[in-house]
Amino acid sequence: MGRLAIRALAAHKARLAMTLAAVCLGSAFVAGTMLFTTSTARAELAVSQRTDIAVQVSAGPGVRGGLPRSTVEELARLPGVAHAEPVVSGQGWLLGRDGKVVEGAAGVTNFADTSRFTVTAGRPPARAGEVALSGSAARTSGARVGDTVGVLLGGSRHQATVVGDYDYRTLGQETPPAMAFDTATTQRLLGLPGQLTAVDLVATPGTAPGELVSRAQAVVPGARVVDAQAANAAARRQRAEAAGALRNALLGFAAIAVLVGTFVIANTFSMLVGQRTRELALLRAVGMSRRQVRWMVLGEAAVIGLLGGVAGTAVGYAFATTAVRFMDEGTGSVPVVVGWPALLAALAVGAGVTVLSAYASARRAARIPPVAALRSETALLHQDLRRRTIAGLLVATLGVAIYGYAALTDRVDEQVGMVGLAGAALLILGVILLAPALIGLGLGALSLPLARLGVTTRLAAGKARRNPRRTTATASALMISLSVVTGLAIGGQSLKDNVTASVRRDVAAQLVAEPTAPGATIPQAEVEQLAAVPGVRAVAALGYAYPMVRIGPVSTRQPLTVVDPAAIGSALRLSMVSGRSEELAGGVFVSADLASSYRLSVGERITVRWPRGGEGVCRVTGVYRGSTLISGVLVPQQVALPHLEQTGAAVAFVALAPGADQAVVRAGLERAVADRPDVVVRSLPQYLDQRLGAVDVVLGVSYALLALAVLIGLLGVANTLALSVLERTRELGLLRALGLTRRQLRTLVRIEAALVAVLGGLLGIGGGWLLGAMFQRTALRAGLFDASVPVGQLLLAVAALAVVGMAAAAWPARRAAKTNLLAAIAAE
């Protein structure tokens, strides 16, 4: 029976080619995801960590400034300490040849002959004016030993000569610093003369880290003391969790592609069994049992699945190699790790999905009676659609109930959002089950307008309507992929519109100054320089923190926004729910969401636990409508800045004086921050474009990942039409005999493909709206009908789908046009 299955595959290899391609693409997505995430996770976990350090003591909230130099000697004298290593680290940015900050090249530390460093080129820095660069910073900037580079530290530029490169061993969540100076130079540049930021303790053999932690805390009260190896273990766990989250996200996209592929495979085998009715009936007539027929068809599916899985593994390896090289910037430092889980997953997906998709067709094949070999009609009679329609109505009703609850309830959070998305998924499933009836109604409604376009279009609509199961299976594959694409488009557009509306509502300024380097801020001294530029009316500098806040008996971590009350009204606008914006100077404001969650009102008091230690009792003097810029507790800067570890502003909005020329003022602002190459001055529209750019990148990556699912759906269109042409040989011959030209026959097949693609696209847009509207309701706490629908993009997508569908039908259309008239009429 195995040989018989192989021969059957060989006899129908052309018909199964696109099915093999669909299986290959789905398996490739799974294999590529597994290989890529395994390789990146291995690279992350292979980050060299310091294993010789037992305890690290650093300046914590209870320590002002850094640790005194004498701390090293005090800690070195503790029992169980072999020796103590001083560390001086801080913020700093490497500047490129263009004077701009080099992306990803941040962080400054002191070089020491310890386990932290391994010199890979040149030598360590020994005096002022010398610097060593990390390997990644050297590659990114293009700087070599002997070059002079710019460094941005403490708001001012410095020059240094590169004398060496190094590899760095981290501790815990530490990010490898891009630059290393000698200790005295590091202290001077960071403004920490005679001070340290941390001390690493190496324990004597047999000393437990816990003992050193308690002893160090006694010597340096208020300092942050951590078990170094526990911090390393926590960092490894976090990296593993991040890699797992990435793998799950990519596998989610792969699952969509595989799900789309199941419709293509199921439809293909259904048509093949129908076309082979006489062949299978003859096998039954010569003695083959139902079970043997069923296993033969499943064996054919298994072979197709295994071949597709093997091919998909090879393609997935190529995908993973390209992605890994892109990630490590072509250095080749991250190898592709080939493991059995990835290989077995691709084969299991290929074979398992193909066999499961073909199971229903195998059962129908087993029910073919031997007498069917005597019939001239070779198509299988399909089951009544009533059961499917009833099941679809039940599933859709359940989906409406669940989705309606999530849409109408006053509670809006992540759990309700997940319930709503589950309801949307049930609704989409219900539509798939009801699709034969819906497509019949849709094509029926289109019959009259389509009839006016000519006989070819009318015939194409009739053919698509004649076999609703086949049309449904083909259109559903496109519907699923386009549902997710539409949901992402609606969610992304809603997010972009929300950001745009909140910025335009809350910002009265015309210009914006902000640092581009990660973690960089604008110190208050520079904010004052911006305010002193001629033509500037006011500057609203926003700072952020995330402290613990006690509201009644509840302590919770809440976002805290810092602003100068004098800038409200001129550079910044507040949408007040209660109270007046002028009352911020006498207390604090809370967002409407926070007030609603904790039943806060004007006049009540909250307690803020400041990052630098101590607590402050603040009176609520107003409630405002939060936004993407301002959220949580809004505190006057004169109250908050003395208690914050980070006192700089993340962004500064600059309002112009009446009659001031924006170009002139902008030039003045750029001169005021000329010593800060990481600070840029933008107009408000440019600032908005920059903020929305990140959303566009995420959407672009998501669309690219979903493009594979759409491609598989289009393969299904081409495959269905190709098999349909073979199945309808006699019918096409009769149409030719009745006067239909070859060109008209090609057009008929292409229009049929376009109709199927458009129907799948329209159903997908409906399902996508359900997903996107619920996503934006959960993320933005808005109503369903507040969702922003990019109508132009969606209409363009449907039109493009029709065009691509017609292109996918080019080969079946040519094959149909080449049908020999007499041979077709004579065909059984």
**Residue of 150, 246, 147, 229 lying closest to 189 (CA atoms):** 150
Provide the pLDDT for residue 725: 67
Q: Sign of the CA dihedral 572, 575, 580, 585?
A: negative
Report pLDDT for 62: 47
Torsions phi, psi of 604, nearest 5?
A: -80, 170
Contact (CB, 8 A) for 436 and 472: yes
Distance set, CA 673 to CA 150, 518, 729, 805 (Å): 16, 17, 76, 55
- DSSP notation for 466-495: H-HHHHHHHHHHHHHHHHHHHHHHHHHHHH
Global model pTM greater than 0.75: no
Give the burial class of 205: count Cβ atoms within 10 A of its Cβ; 0-12 exposed, 13-18 middle, 19 or more buried.
exposed
pLDDT of residue 99: 78
Do β-strands 117-122 and 536-545 pair in parallel, antiparallel, or remain unpaired? Answer: unpaired
Q: Which of 352-356, 561-565, 673-677 has the lowest mean pLDDT?
A: 673-677
Overall size of the chain counted in residues: 828
Q: Binning pLDDT at 50, 70 and 90, where does residue 511 land?
A: very high
Sign of CA dihedral 142, 145, 149, 153: positive
Q: Residue 804 pLDDT > 90, yes or no?
A: no
Query: What is the phi/psi pair of residue 417, to 5°?
Result: -60, -40
Judge residue 580's burial from the number of C-beta atoms within 10 Å of its C-beta, 0-12 exposed, 13-18 middle, 19 or more buried: exposed
Residues in CB range of 235: below 8 A, 6 or more apart: 49, 170, 172, 173
Residue labelled with tokens 């003395």: 642
Q: Angle at which helices 742-780 and 684-727 pack, to 10 degrees?
A: 140
Which of 717, 676, 706 lies closest to 808, judged by CA?
A: 717
Tokens matching residue 167: 């590899």
- Among all chains, which residue has been given the structure tokens 């195998």? 362
Q: What is the pLDDT of residues 571-593, one digit of tens each?
A: 999 989 998 888 998 899 999 98
User: The tokens of 545 are what?
Assistant: 């923190």
250-285 pLDDT, tens digit per residue, is 777 778 778 777 877 877 777 777 767 777 788 788
Res. 25 pLDDT band, cuts 50 70 90: confident
Reported as a single tens digit per residue, the pLDDT across 34-55 is 887 777 777 665 567 777 888 8
Helix (H, G, I), strand (E, B) or coil at 599: coil
User: What value, to the nearest 5°, has the Cα angle with vertex 318 and ends 314 and 321?
Assistant: 135
What region, left, alpha or beta, does residue 686 occupy, with left being phi > 0 and alpha being psi -120 to 50 degrees? alpha
Using pLDDT thresholds of 50, 70 and 90, give the confidence band for residue 822.
Answer: low
What are the respective helix, strand and coil percentages of the chain, to the nearest 5? 60, 20, 25
pLDDT digits (tens, 9 = 90+) for 63-74: 556 788 888 888
Q: How confident is the model over 479-507, as pLDDT tens digits?
A: 887 888 888 888 888 888 888 888 888 89
Residue 420 is classified by DSSP as H
312: left (phi over 0), alpha (psi -120 to 50) or beta: alpha
State the DSSP code for 643.
G
Contact 346, 313 (CB under 8 A): yes
Q: What is the CA radius of gyration of the chain?
A: 34
Burial class (CB in 10 A: 0-12, 13-18, 19+), 606: buried
Q: What is the rounded average pLDDT for all residues in the chain?
A: 81
When pLDDT is cut at 50, 70 and 90, the band that residue 330 belongs to is very low
Give per-residue pLDDT as tens, 385-407.
678 888 888 998 998 999 888 88
Tokens found for residue 213: 């932690």
Region of residue 3 (left: phi > 0; alpha: psi -120 to 50; beta: else): alpha
Cβ contacts of 553 within 8 Å, gap of 6 or more: none
User: How far is Cα 746 from Cα 748, in angstroms, rounded to an integer?
Assistant: 5
d(CA 360, CA 366): 10
Instruction: Give CA–CA dist 725/515, Å, rounded.
Output: 62
**How crowded is residue 38: how many other Cβ atoms within 10 Å of its Cβ?**
19
| 821-to-379, 746, 815, 818 alpha-carbon distances in Å | 21, 15, 13, 9
DSSP string of 141-164, one letter each residue: H---TT-EEEEEETTEEEEEEEEE
Q: What is the pLDDT of residues 607-650, one digit of tens each?
A: 999 988 788 999 999 999 988 889 999 999 999 988 888 888 99
The greatest distance separating any two alpha carbons of the chain, rounded to the nearest whole angstrom, comes to: 104
- Tens digit of each residue's pLDDT (9 = 90 or more) over 155-191: 678 899 999 999 998 888 888 899 999 999 998 888 8
Task: Look at residue 303 and give its three-state secondary structure.
Answer: helix
List phi, psi (to 5°) of 83: -165, 160
What confidence tens digit (pLDDT) does each residue in 275-314 have? 677 777 887 888 888 888 888 888 888 888 888 888 888 8
Locate 532 and state its tokens: 């002193």
Using DSSP's 3-state secondary structure scheme, residue 124 falls into coil
What does the block give as tokens for 521?
Answer: 């801020």
